[in-house]
Amino acid sequence: VSKFHSSGKEIQYGYDGLGKLVKTVSPDGDIEKAYYNSLGQRVWDTDQFGCVTEYDYDKHGQVVKKESEDGKKSQ
């Protein structure tokens, strides 16, 4: 799916079979990706710089840990 930014430049969006956003390509060619498990929970994503962030969930489906490659953690 492509949409146009207010500047007139194209932004591309990719979705999985469940309609979850899995890829964004900016007008400058920067790519962001996301991967979801079978429960529809985001397992990891990458930002435009290629840095990976991983997510862990509790039994209720709540994010209990978010950790990025640069060592930043949040709970």
pLDDT, one tens digit per residue, over 31-43 is 999 999 999 999 9
For 61-73, what is the mean pLDDT? 85
Contacts of 26 (CB under 8 A, 6+ apart): 11, 32, 48
pTM for the whole structure = 0.77
pLDDT at 54 over 90: yes
* DSSP strands (E only) in the chain: 2-4, 10-15, 21-25, 31-36, 42-46, 52-57, 63-68, 73-74
Count the residues in the chain. 75
At residue 11, the 3 state secondary structure works out as strand
